[in-house]
Amino acid sequence: MAPISTPQTPFGRVLTAMVTPFTADGALDLDGAQRLATHLVDAGNDGLIVNGTTGESPTTTDAEKSQLVRAVLEAVGDRAHVVAGIGTNDTRHTLELTRAAERAGAHGLLAVTPYYNKPPQEGLYRHFSAIADATELPVMLYDIPGRSGVPIDTETLVRLAEHPRVVANKDAKGDLGRASWAIARSGLAWYSGDDMLNLPLLSVGACGFVSVVGHVVAPELRAMLEAFLAGDVQKSTEIHQRLLPVFTGMFRTQGVMTTKAALALQGLPAGPLRLPLVGLTDEETAQLKVDLAAGGVQL
């Protein structure tokens, strides 16, 4: 059974977009995925995104994606929302992944904006509507124009919010003004998809985070959110400021690369990356250690 959700927090509040652990030879490490998922939930995450970009979804097979959903559900599905990334730039393929994730038992779906082919807003509307029509699961949109090349316009978000299964948006647009209008007009549950803007987005109506740094500072993220919700803005700001070195350090280069390096430094399951991603250099690892230590992360 899925964890309890509300219309205001359909996927929980603190979610980490989980990396996909691999074995030394590059195969899927399901045991490692279960151990990592358990660690993340124990640390304060009440939701996990699997098969997202941070999970190296561009280089995992459809079969691996289903295996990963099932493994993570087995490990933590009674304690956390397990949301499956299903987005591609091919609507037909996305619908196949949507149905597969539902069969695997996912609690919800994350649908990224189709990338590279740069569809118009009507194309985005039809793409996301087709996903929502093809499933009984709640859908979180993922608006990240820096990767996809196309933003989801506010008018499109408002139209999509009319669908009963489009319930949330992961916002990595980096525009607080546009977020403010979209939150007010759409009524969607709003999740920060940019760790540096976690606290600012709460101030304009976000309900939680889909985080990368949640791999290493989930307790702090939860404390910041709970302080804000309790009205202690000073405390939440202090936590935000303490975490600035982590927010900066984890994105000095590609986020999956730094995250897997950080997990390895802590002795947690991660493993190698699949090309075209590569491991950090010695210099980059040294800088990451400095950044994490400055943010209070124990290595």
Known binding-site residues for pyruvate equal 54, 210
Binding-site positions read 54, 210
Active-site position among 65, 115, 170, 173:
170
**What are the DSSP calls for the chain, one per residue?**
-PPP--SSSBTBSEEEE----B-TTS-B-HHHHHHHHHHHHHTT-SEEEESSGGGTGGGS-HHHHHHHHHHHHHHHTTTSEEEEE---S-HHHHHHHHHHHHHHT-SEEEEEPP-SS---HHHHHHHHHHHHHT-SS-EEEEE-HHHHS----HHHHHHHTTSTTEEEEEE-S--HHHHHHHHHHH--EEEE--GGGHHHHHHTT--EEEESTHHHHHHHHHHHHHHHHTT-HHHHHHHHHHTHHHHHHTTSS-HHHHHHHHHHHTT-S-----TT--PPPHHHHHHHHHHHHHTT---
Active site residue 118: no
Active-site position among 142, 173, 191, 260:
142
Active site residue 173: no
Instruction: Note the residue count of the chain.
Output: 299
Query: Which positions are annotated as active-site residues?
Result: 142, 170
